[in-house]
Structure 1
Amino acid sequence: MKALKKSTLALLTLTFSLSLTLAGCSKSTPEPAASATAAPATSTAPAATKAATTDLKPYEVKLVYPGTPQPDQAKVEDAMNKVLKEKINATIKLMPIDWGQWDNKTNLMIASREEFDILFTAQWNGHAVNVGKGALMPLNDLIGQYGKGITDSLDPAFLQGAKINGKNYGVPTNKELAASGGVVYRADIAKELGIDMTAVKTMADLANVLKTVKEKKPEMTAFFLRDGDNLNAHYLAQYDYLGDSTIPGVIMKDGTDTKVIPKWDQPRYKEILKLTRDFMQKGYINKDAATTQLSGQDALKSGNVFMITSSLKPGKDSELANATNLVGKLGQIELTPRTISTGDTAGSMLGISVTSKDPARTMMVINLLHTDKQLNNLINFGIEGTHYTKVSENIIKATDAGKNYAPGAAWQFGNQFLNYLYDNEDPQKWDKFKEFNKSGKKSPGLGFTFDSEPVKTQVAAAVNVGKEFDAAMDTGSVDMDASLPKYQDKMKAAGIDKIIAEKQKQLDAFLAASKK
């Protein structure tokens, strides 16, 4: 990976501290755009003219993203299509995949070269690995031609921080930049049982809470964990993988050291595993934690779960409450400092598959999700008068039919600052987002993204080893003392030393260049 020049790094660091509403126009290095029906660049403003639309052939854009299919999905598609047909003569097919099946199904789609257009992607979910597989196309030229609304509204730090070897392979969602980790819990149950949740300051403090829930509500799952969402998740343990979190080698987001090491050499790794194993053995955690197909959101929706882990931001509990039919019944507790890493800029993106038959039209759809308030709120909240009614211009109230379309995935699509707020949410939510971002501590690796190309063979092998061990160990399903030596041996055989050496080499070059 080529190191950023000092001026570029200075811009990146500055923009992280500014409001997300800061306008930026950052032109990427042109890449050839492959499109059978590409329209002239002059006709691709957020609302294309009807004259320009008539020059475009009809095209269906297939959007693949993680989430539970909704009963009224077809109705919402029809409403979105009315907007898209008028503006860019396109239609959309929503293709949600349950979280528990997401990795397997998308890997199969990529391997088989299935034709689709938009793929949700994130650095914590194999983004760099999929880029290495050639699954996602570079977007720099497409953004330049068809993404003016994106670059006008998105803080430049997002696109800059999400680059891999100078290229963007995903368009980041316009949302929070800082990140913290913690838990979301049933506040109504805590009140019923007389639990003082304000006493919870650390992971270890959860022990007494879970003990009480287990004793007084034995029918409930006290603590729902799953692969990727547990006490050892990157957002709680504060690992900075310097890019894709499936690739081994970390520094700490809340630290100052820039030496890249295996996560098991960080003292908190073993501490967290021991605590989680203790919780599992005491019956606080769901027994199927390592294999469950449920997301944390769906687990809460079942009504029989007290607590889940979660990446947090202002109002996360209210967002989940609306998505799970638990309005007024959830609370959240931060357990980590607020930090900002390069991975946070690429924590939610929409990429374009190399199998797309019309990348230009696909980028137009992504651009509209960043600029068109009607389209953005349709995909997130459904149809006005059916799934919600308006309380005021930007405040909505769910109807009885709202449960038929409540994906709870606003953080995935385009521009959260276009989102309506439910009447139970803080009306100052977006202002608090800005304050949240300003309070974040910058990771010592901020601005750097690892390019795995030089060690792609070792990375592929290491990712497979991670799939074999991480879920069981991170959820407390197996004993750490018995499993960790086997995990380390297999990672050694896969080539973890070469991966870490390459990651360190690139990080050192980046840091040296940033000081010039």
Structure 2
Amino acid sequence: MKTTKKLLAMALAAAMVVTAFAGCSGNNDTSSADSTSSASSEASTSSDASTSDESSATEDDGTIHPMRIVQPGTLCPDYETGMAAVNEKLKEDGVNIEVSVTRIPWDAYAEKLNLMLTTGEEFELLHVMQDVKNLSAIAGMGAISSIHDSIQNYPDLYNKFSETEWLGTLYKGEEYAVPCYWRSFDNTMSYMDYRSDIAEKVGYDEFPDTTEGIIDLMKKSQDEILNETGMKAYSWFHQVQDTAHWLHRSYDTYPFYVENSLGICLIRQDGTVDSFYESEEFKKDANTYYEMYQAGLIDPDILNRDHQKQYDDANYGAMLPSQTFDPYTGVTMQKNGVEGAEVKWVEAFGDDVPDMIYTYVQNLNAISSTSEDPESGLKFLNWLYASEENHDLFHYGIEGTHYTKTGDHRIEQVKGDDGNPLYSMDTWMTGYLPYMAYATDTPDEQVDYMTYKSDNYVISPAAGFIFDSSNVTSELTNLQTEIISSIYPIKVGMVSYEDNIDAAIEKLKAAGLDKYLEEYRTQFKAYLDANPNVLEIAKGTTEG
């Protein structure tokens, strides 16, 4: 993330306060060897020198401790071979842990994760996705442990990340996780992806810069894609709980940020926290999506459709302009027989509109409070990020068996009969951008997308804030139920805003909306009072 002297000053000042709420995760690990950058981040301050556990951590008695990781998804076919090589390398390096990974399928992830956390199942490392179950919620359950004291034993690991990235790991003033720096987030709130080859066919050499133009492009693209593939394409949120951030860039009240989990709070650049679902901005969102839904641009079963299905359809050519996917999707389309397919990303409504940087860190890895040896997770991450060799072995497997190097940060992975890599561990959960590798056929557009550094941006005052929901747990549970049942149909355009919003807001208030907002505002004000530089940083665009 691009920083300024003011931003760094704020980061240092915020060391002992309630912290960072941010979050989004991806589950579409784009080019199997999915992400690389030959350029180091400005946020990274350490070298790539390999460092053994013995030089940075407390001594142990030589006992091999289990290091069990819990992540979403499914394991690759040759997981056992690859992980055996990882554990052999750990042994050679004198790191006394044995790594194993448990994957929870996406369609059962939330339910099974909650069960694991509430029953106290033993494991060491948990991947935290802020928009699925955020750090404060998990820490508030007592399910993860503070690493504030133990991280001091791993200076090399600590120095892999910037002060601002560490701000995103704090809960009640202490670090509770290690950041995952797998991509730049300067454009996360700003971009849209679209099939540029289809756009040109229907008369759009440039991506339109008005809402009306974008909807017209969607309609014409849908007809062309149906003719081409026999499939009906739709426009998607990345996940249903996400907000239509692309639309917000066209509003007179922009810049502002809507927290990206339940979408309850709208945070303006002056530090004001508004009720998003009672705002004019939500009304505009809902009316636009109602128009899109009525035009058939939104899947009629959007609230029930399997999350993975939208990616499966896109990989065979059926995608409309959306704030999801990425340029590598075009490569996948071509592999699947869609000739000439090309996906580009653009900043919605033009480069003159500033990008919104809303988070210091989006994905994290936390130590489970059930672990008999809590430091084993830190030992693993310290080893993983100590060198590109370790990073590649864990994520891409054995060179010559699972992949071959084809250039600087470019690899070719060995695929199975299903076309997927025989061995691959998703870098969006544990990757480190300066080390990461792209598949040989990854277009430069994808590299730009992953490593983009904005020269026209604002930083949300909420970028370094994590809301602690422990005082409003029952309200949050009730609100989640009501938002899904009453707000989501309005949000995605299934029903009209005018006919349904009053009843929906009444239900939200009965569920505890006002109490939740009051608690959020109280905590956010305390954060701003303790960090006076935050609002100064949020006042306007930065210089490039």
The verdict on how the C-alpha distance between 1:352 and 1:398 changes in structure 2, with shifts beyond 3 A counting, is same
Out of 351, 355, 360, which is 1:338 matched to? 355
Q: Secondary structure at the match of 1:200?
A: coil
- The 1:200/1:465 distance shift into structure 2, 3 A limit, reads same
**Displacement, 1:58?**
2.5
For 1:274, the equivalent position in structure 2 comes to 287
Which of 296, 315, 333 lines up with 1:283 in the alignment?
296
1:294 equivalent to 2:300? Answer: no
Aligned to 2:192: 183
Task: Find the partner of 2:267 among 241, 246, 251.
Answer: 251
Q: Which 5+ residue runs of structure 1 have no aligned equivalent?
A: 1-5, 25-43
Aligned to 2:239: 228
Q: For 1:365-376, list aligned pairs within 5 A.
A: 365-376=380-391
Pick one of 92, 95, 100 that aligns with 1:86: 92
The aligned counterpart of 2:171 is 164
Task: Give per-residue Cα distances to partners, 1:319-365, cap 9 Å, x unaligned.
Answer: 88569957973322222742223xx2231111122222321111211
**Of 421-430 and 153-162, the range deviating more from structure 2:** 421-430
CA distance change for structure 1 residues 65 and 230 in 2, over 3 Å: closer, same or farther? same
- Aligned residue pairs total 477
2:327 aligned to which of 317, 322, 329: 317
The Cα RMSD (Å) is 3.8
Matched to 2:159, the amino acid is D
Superposed CA deviations along residues 449-503 of structure 1, whole A, max 9, x for unmatched, are 3333333332333233334345444333444344433432222122221221222
2:81 aligns to what?
75
Tell whether the 8 Å contact from 1:228 to 1:471 is kept in structure 2 after alignment.
Answer: no
Q: Distance in 1 between matches of 2:114 and 2:13?
A: 32
Hey, what's the Cα distance between the residues in 2 that align with 1:94 and 1:455?
A: 33
Aligned AA for 1:21? Answer: S
Q: Deviations over 1:400-429 (max 9, x none)?
A: 547234768322214221112333446798
CA spacing shift, 1:149–1:310, aligned 2, 3 Å: farther
Unaligned runs of 5+ in 2: 1-6, 15-40, 249-254, 534-544
Counterpart residue number, 1:35: none
Q: 1:445 aligns with which of 462, 478, 484?
A: 462
Aligned-partner Cα distance in 2 for 1:319–1:217: 15
Q: Tell me if structure 2 keeps the 8 A contact 1:62–1:117.
A: yes
C-alpha distance in 2, partners of 1:22/1:434? 17
The alignment's TM-score, normalised by the length of structure 1, stands at: 0.79
User: Does the 8 Å CA contact 1:230/1:475 hold for their aligned counterparts?
Assistant: no
CA contact (8 A) 2:128 2:365 kept: yes
1:455 aligns with 2:461: no
Conserved? CA contact 1:421–1:427, under 8 Å: no
Show the counterpart of 2:225.
217
Structure 1 equivalent of residue 274 of structure 2: 261
Map 1:111-190; keep pairs closer than 5 Å.
111-127=118-134, 128-145=136-153, 147-174=154-181, 175-178=183-186, 179-190=188-199
What displacement does 1:177 show?
4.5
Q: Give the whole-Å Cα distance in 2 for the aligned partners of 1:201 and 1:273.
A: 20
Say if 1:121 and 1:350, in contact at 8 Å, map to a contact too: yes
Shift of 1:126: 2.3
Query: As a proportion of its length, which structure holds more helix?
Result: 1
Residue equivalent to 1:507: 524
Q: Shift in Å at residue 152 of structure 1?
A: 1.5
The offset of 1:304, in angstroms, is: 4.7
Deviations 1:220-262 (CA, angstroms, capped at 9, x unpaired)? 23225367258725676576356x734732214xxx3322111
> Aligned equivalents of 1:427 and 1:225: distance in 2?
24
Alignment match, 1:305: 318
Q: Return the alpha-carbon distance in structure 1 between the equivalents of residues 96 and 214 of structure 2.
A: 53
User: CA, structure 1 residues 333+350, in 2 after alignment: closer, same or farther (shift >3 Å)?
Assistant: same
Match of 2:437 in 1: 420
Q: Secondary structure at the match of 1:391?
A: strand
Look up the equivalent residue of 2:376 and give its one-letter code: R
**Helix, strand or coil for the counterpart of 1:196?**
coil
Q: Structure 1 residue aligned with 2:204, among 196, 210, 233?
A: 196
SS of 2:69's equivalent? strand
> Is the aligned partner of 1:392 residue 2:407?
yes
**How far apart are the structure 1 equivalents of 2:524 and 2:405?**
49
Aligned in 2, Cα 1:506/1:22: closer, same or farther, shift over 3 Å? same
Q: Indicate if the aligned counterparts of 1:63 and 1:116 stay in contact, CA closer than 8 A.
A: yes
Q: Distance in 2 between matches of 1:68 and 1:325?
A: 22
- Judging changes above 3 Å, is the alpha-carbon distance between structure 1 residues 98 and 10 closer, same or farther for their aligned structure 2 residues? closer
1:64 and 2:70 matched: yes
Partner-residue secondary structure (3-state), 1:199? coil
**Secondary structure, in 3 states, of the residue corresponding to 1:355?**
coil
For 1:431 and 1:211, how far apart are their aligned partners in 2? 28
SS in 1 for 2:190: strand
Is the Cα–Cα contact under 8 Å of residues 74 and 103 in structure 2 kept in the other structure?
yes
Match of 1:258, SS state, is: coil
SS in 1 for 2:149: helix
Q: Distance in 2 between matches of 1:308 and 1:77?
A: 38
Residue 19 in structure 1 maps to residue 16 in structure 2: no
- In structure 1, distance between residues paired with 2:232 and 2:328: 21
Q: Distance in 1 between matches of 2:116 and 2:330?
A: 29
TM-score norm. by structure 2 comes to: 0.75
- Change in CA separation of 1:83 and 1:217 when aligned onto 2, cut-off 3 Å: same
> In structure 2, which of residues 340, 357, 365 is the aligned counterpart of residue 350 of structure 1?
365
SS class of match (1:205): helix
Structure 2: how far apart are the matches of 1:215 and 1:356?
Answer: 54
Structure 2 contact 402–422 (Cα < 8 Å) conserved:
yes
Contact residue 222 and residue 284 of structure 1 kept, 8 A = yes
- Mapped contact 1:396–1:420 kept (Cα < 8 A): yes
CA change 1:398–1:124 in 2 (3 A) is same
Q: 1:396 aligns to what SS in structure 2?
A: strand
1:422-444 CA-partner distances (Å, limit 9, x unpaired)? 33446798898776155431113
Specify the alignment match of 1:364 in structure 2.
379
CA shift in 2, pair 1:241/1:169, >3 Å: farther
**Partner AA of 2:166 in structure 1:** L
How far has the Cα of 1:78 moved from its partner? 2.6
Distance change (3 Å), C-alpha of 1:114 and 1:436: same
